[in-house]
Amino acid sequence: MELSEATKKLISQYALAKKRDAQNPDSPTIHVDEVALRVAAFYEQIRTIVDWKEEHLMRRAAIIRKLKRRFFDLEMNNYSSADGVAESLVLELIRGGHFPNDKIEEFKINSVQNIINKYIFILKNNPENKQGKAGLQFYNWLIEVCACEIEETLAPAVREMALIDYMFSAMKEKIRVSDKIYESGLLKKDFTYVQIYIAVCQALFKLDKSIISYHLIKYRYPEWDKGGQQLILEISQKIFKIWQKTEEDLANPVANKFYNICEKYDTPYLLMGDILSASNGAETGKQISEPSVLENYIKEAYSKRMSTLKARISRAAVYSTISIFATKVLSLVLLEAIIEEVIGSKLNALALSADVLIPTALMFVMVSLIKRPSRKNINIVIIETMKIAYKKETGDTYEIKMRKKRGATMKTILSLIYVFSAFITFGTIFLILKGLGFPITSILIDIIFIALILFAGTAVSKRAQELTMEDEKEGFFSFVSDVFFLPMHGLGQWISNKWKRYNALAAFFNALIDMPFSAFVEFIEKWRYFIKERKEEMR
């Protein structure tokens, strides 16, 4: 069978990426001392627990953290000493193990410095230099976008972007939006493709807001990363409005509808990416033009991804539990100890143990109950993958429809049911712990921790459905658990979002440990070089 033009293009892009990977750098590369690297990498592992995000977001989180520290220093000096910022940043990132040693060309330091200078210029020339909450959010957003551009410069995501374009071009043809949605004003017709693109990025690689914002800026301003001073000046004049527009796109009321479709049908695209990553380049095109060969490749890629998925889910469950305990519950337990000391009560050893054991056991149970896709799923995956790989006259369409409006009476009834289920859930937990003799402070901490674990566990469970394409059948038990656990899940989501802004442990690390430790590691490296020089002189 003949491959589609989009598939042929994807194969050539992957072949080119593989060829680039095999080439040795033509110019000198950046080297950091191995001892300093090991020391810094150990610290970054600790920070992984404190700042836990999904694995593919951790590197950018480190760039953002280190970049914010440097921008703060620059701001204190009125942006007068930006020279050399890029070199110290790149070296620190390599020492921390976020980028490979002896692989990044030295000239990229200048590229990173130019990026930093560009964003400093935008900050200084932004006419709407807002104060307060909006100004802080805009400032953080701009630095996060800067971090995305730096990451792309140091480690271009060629395959990921090719796969996103592949799925995006397909979904543009497949997704149909009901006219009623346009008529309601929920979505303007001109912005349909933007919503499809956002959904594809989120479904395929679980990209976060900052990287999607960066891609949207490049989509609207193709010369963003290559533009001259005049273009950057024009953008700086309206950068605040660009931020507001990007936030509106990401928070669109119908965004979830686009995401749900892309999430359901992303498996074939992921497997095509896996097949091409493991292939011998351009020769794969000839091989997979035979459906039987492609079917074998799909089965092999499916099996490998399923096995790695298990490991990723287990790792995510462990790290998220430790992170929640370290960053949230530890501070709450300390608060509990202080309160108990003030009121003259003794700490309950059983209650303290329960603060840790109950939520941890809950995460273990949630991960244990994750269902594997049935055998029927692989057959669906094979069919859907072949649909996107080969040319065909007619394609599938996925319609996004307007949700039926609920009347005031129905809304009131549903709200009352939600409140009632919340009362039952929280009340039951309270009575059980109270009956076991737990103090009020410990009960509140346990409820908060259970809510956080339930929210994190639900996210892990959803990630486990990465390869599932068959329609999920929900039974009576699933329905009942949703009714009573949704309020707890909602509380966990709310606390988690709020805690991101007020993470005391992360603030402690940033303010009192990050900078001194970075200086210490840099000293180790310089001392090692000094020792080497002295040894060479002694010969």
Q: pLDDT for 510-534, tens place per residue?
A: 555 666 666 666 666 666 666 666 6
pLDDT at 506 over 70: no
CA atoms of 484 and 489, how far apart (whole Å): 9
pLDDT band at 282 (very low <50, low <70, confident <90, very high): low
The pLDDT of 497-513, averaged and rounded, is 57
Q: Express as a percent the part of the chain with pLDDT over 90.
A: 25
pLDDT at 252 over 80: yes
pLDDT at 268 over 90: yes
The pLDDT of 490-510, averaged and rounded, is 65
pLDDT at 121 over 80: yes
- 166, 170, 145, 309: which is closest to 235 by C-alpha? 145
| Long-range Cβ contacts of 381-385 (<8 Å, 24+ apart) | 381/267, 381/268, 381/271, 381/298, 381/302, 381/467, 381/469, 382/295, 382/298, 382/299, 384/265, 384/267, 384/268, 384/469, 385/267, 385/268, 385/271, 385/272, 385/294, 385/298
Predicted confidence at residue 503, as pLDDT, reads 52
Predicted confidence at residue 150, as pLDDT, reads 95
pLDDT band at 180 (very low <50, low <70, confident <90, very high): confident
483 or 158: which leads in pLDDT: 158
Cβ–Cβ under 8 Å, residues 260 and 401: no
pLDDT at 500 over 70: no
Q: pLDDT for 361-376, tens place per residue?
A: 777 777 777 777 888 8
SS3 177: strand
Structure tokens at 285: 């095109």
CA atoms of 117 and 75, how far apart (whole Å): 13
Please give the single-letter amino acid code of residue 294.
L
pLDDT at 110 over 80: yes
CA atoms of 139 and 134, how far apart (whole Å): 9
Residues facing residue 105 across a β-bridge: 29
pLDDT at 261 over 70: yes
Alpha-helical segments (H) within 369-407: 375-389
The pLDDT of 301-313, averaged and rounded, is 86
R_g over Cα of the chain: 26
Q: pLDDT for 394-424, tens place per residue?
A: 778 889 887 777 677 877 887 888 888 888 8
CA atoms of 6 and 28, how far apart (whole Å): 37
Cβ–Cβ under 8 Å, residues 398 and 265: yes
Q: pLDDT for 451-482, tens place per residue?
A: 888 887 787 778 778 888 887 776 666 667 77
Helix (H) / strand (E) containing 2 = none
Predicted confidence at residue 223, as pLDDT, reads 82
- 51, 28, 74, 40: which is closest to 521 by C-alpha? 40
pLDDT band at 98 (very low <50, low <70, confident <90, very high): confident
Question: Residues 290-328, buried b or exposed e (16+ Cβ, 10 A)?
Answer: eeeebeebbeebbeebeeebeebbeebbebbbebbbebb
The pLDDT of 214-219, averaged and rounded, is 90
The pLDDT of 299-323, averaged and rounded, is 81
- 363, 350, 353, 367: which is closest to 324 by C-alpha? 363
Mean pLDDT lowest among 44-58, 170-184, 215-229: 44-58
pLDDT band at 174 (very low <50, low <70, confident <90, very high): very high
Predicted confidence at residue 345, as pLDDT, reads 59
Predicted confidence at residue 387, as pLDDT, reads 92
Please give the single-letter amino acid code of residue 68.
K
pLDDT at 213 over 90: yes
pLDDT band at 388 (very low <50, low <70, confident <90, very high): very high
The pLDDT of 289-297, averaged and rounded, is 91
Predicted confidence at residue 228, as pLDDT, reads 78
pLDDT at 346 over 70: no
Q: Which residue shows structure tokens 């990363």? A: 225
Helix (H) / strand (E) containing 175 = strand 175-177
| Long-range Cβ contacts of 305-311 (<8 Å, 24+ apart) | 305/270, 305/271, 305/274, 305/466, 305/467, 306/372, 306/467, 309/464, 309/466, 309/467
Structure tokens at 484: 């009573």
